[in-house]
């Protein structure tokens, strides 16, 4: 009961803070829009997807990937924000409270997921714009998948943050972890047809399964889109659920060691 209260408190704080930072809201929404509208539109004009059927645009292919990307960036960033909490002292106040440490980690992970899903919700509003129609049930399923991805990636951020001394390492994490996770996830180009070494890397990237799950759901009734789905939905879900469990476990453990 008490732990639940702590989880709720930490979650509420993150959401409140997000709501209060106008610039952060604008920033997190602008980034996927840039990708979708500029990169997506530009690339779809420049080339056609290999084996792409008529009437299926690159933009449509990319749309689930952009959902995954925005969740990736937002959640990792939310997890890393613990470094700031530590810098500005608030983390101390939380760590000295008589609540189990894991509840702090879980609250934080849920907070990051909520923020990421708010962003996802805005992107879902744009679906008609790229020629994708979604049913209510589809949207619910997408939300569920986004939540699992966001929860695990925020936990990953928390795990990393517990080993970071300051935000100076932020760029390194962007370059060596977040961007590779994104590029290799199949968000921008399909897994089929790339060099074998790259295919292996892409199959190792857990986010690949997240993006694939999104395509599975969004293109459920779209035969053209289904051509770009690589795995079964159940495999995708198994992988991302496992990822969530592993990362929240690591995150909670990292928190336990904090002093």
Partner 1 sequence: MRDLVRKYKDFLAVKGVTFDVPEGEIFGFLGPNGAGKSTTIQILATLLKPTEGTAVVNGFDIRNEPDKVRQSIGLVFQDPSLDERLTARENLYFHAMLYNVETTIMKKRMAEVLEMVELADRQKDQVKTFSGGMRRRLEIARGLVHYPKVLFLDEPTVGLDPQTRKRIWEYIHYLRDKEGLTIFLTTHYMDEAENCQRIAVIDHGEIVALDTPENLKSVIGGDVIKISTDNNEEVLPVIKNRLQVKAEKQGDYIAIQVEKGEIFIPRLAVELKGRINSMVIKKPSLDDVFLHLTGREIREEGVNAVDRMRVYSKRKH
CA nearest to 78, candidates 175, 4, 151: 151
Angle 249-253-255 (CA atoms, 0-180°, nearest 5)? Answer: 120
- Of 47, 88, 136, 197, the residue at the interface with partner 1 (CB under 8 A) is 88
Q: Least Å distance between CB 218 and partner 1?
A: 35
Our finding on whether 9 is near partner 1 (CB under 8 A) is yes
Measured in residues, the chain has a length of: 259
Residue 204 burial (C-beta neighbours within 10 Å; 0-12, 13-18, 19+) = exposed
Our finding on whether 257 is near partner 1 (CB under 8 A) is no
**Cα 85 to Cα 100: distance, rounded to the nearest angstrom:** 18
CA nearest to 215, candidates 147, 142, 148, 152: 142
**Cα 126 to Cα 128: distance, rounded to the nearest angstrom:** 6
Q: How many residues bind partner 1 (CB under 8 A)?
A: 26
CA nearest to 108, candidates 248, 250, 259: 248
Q: Least Å distance between CB 114 and partner 1?
A: 16
Our finding on whether 101 is near partner 1 (CB under 8 A) is no
- Lookup: tokens for 193: 């047809």
Pick 13 or 203: Cβ nearer partner 1: 13
Stretch of residues binding partner 1 (CB under 8 A), selected from 12-20, 112-120, 147-155, 178-186: 12-20
**Cα 67 to Cα 119: distance, rounded to the nearest angstrom:** 9
Our finding on whether 168 is near partner 1 (CB under 8 A) is no
Our finding on whether 26 is near partner 1 (CB under 8 A) is no
List binders of partner 1 among 169-208 (CB under 8 A).
Answer: none
Our finding on whether 163 is near partner 1 (CB under 8 A) is no
**Cα 244 to Cα 259: distance, rounded to the nearest angstrom:** 25
Fill in the DSSP letter of residue 128.
G
Our finding on whether 226 is near partner 1 (CB under 8 A) is no
- Of 22, 54, 136, 165, the residue at the interface with partner 1 (CB under 8 A) is 165
**Cα 145 to Cα 239: distance, rounded to the nearest angstrom:** 11
- Of 46, 47, 96, 171, the residue at the interface with partner 1 (CB under 8 A) is 96
Stretch of residues binding partner 1 (CB under 8 A), selected from 17-25, 33-41, 61-69, 200-208: 17-25
Q: Least Å distance between CB 187 and partner 1?
A: 32
Pick 81 or 155: Cβ nearer partner 1: 81
**Cα 87 to Cα 168: distance, rounded to the nearest angstrom:** 12
Q: Given the rule CB under 8 A, which residues bind partner 1?
A: 2, 5-6, 8-9, 12-13, 16-17, 20-21, 86, 88-90, 92-99, 165, 258-259
């Amino acid at each position: 009961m008490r732990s639940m209260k702590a989880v709720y408190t930490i979650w509420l704080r993150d959401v409140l803070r997000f709501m209060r930072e106008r610039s952060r809201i604008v920033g997190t929404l602008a980034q996927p829009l840039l990708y979708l509208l500029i990169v997506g539109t530009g690339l779809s004009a420049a080339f056609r997807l290999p084996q792409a059927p008529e009437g299926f645009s690159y933009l449509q292919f990319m749309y689930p990937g952009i959902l995954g990307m925005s969740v990736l960036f937002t959640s990792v960033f939310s997890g890393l924000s613990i470094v700031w909490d530590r810098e500005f002292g608030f983390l101390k106040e939380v760590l000295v409270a008589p609540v189990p440490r894991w509840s702090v980690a879980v609250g934080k992970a849920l907070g990051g997921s909520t923020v990421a899903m708010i962003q996802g919700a805005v992107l879902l509003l744009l679906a008609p714009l790229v020629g994708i129609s979604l049913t209510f049930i589809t949207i619910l399923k997408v939300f569920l998948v986004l939540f699992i991805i966001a929860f695990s990636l925020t936990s990953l951020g928390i795990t990393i943050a517990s080993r970071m001394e300051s935000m100076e390492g932020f760029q390194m994490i962007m370059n060596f972890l977040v961007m590779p996770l994104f590029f290799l996830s199949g968000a921008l180009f399909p897994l089929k047809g790339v060099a074998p070494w790259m295919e292996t890397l892409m199959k190792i990237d857990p986010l690949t399964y997240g993006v694939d799950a999104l395509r599975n759901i969004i293109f459920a009734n779209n035969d053209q889109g289904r051509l770009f789905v690589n795995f079964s939905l159940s495999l995708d879900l198994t992988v991302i659920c496992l990822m969530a469990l592993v990362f929240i476990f690591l995150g909670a453990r990292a928190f336990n060691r904090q002093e």
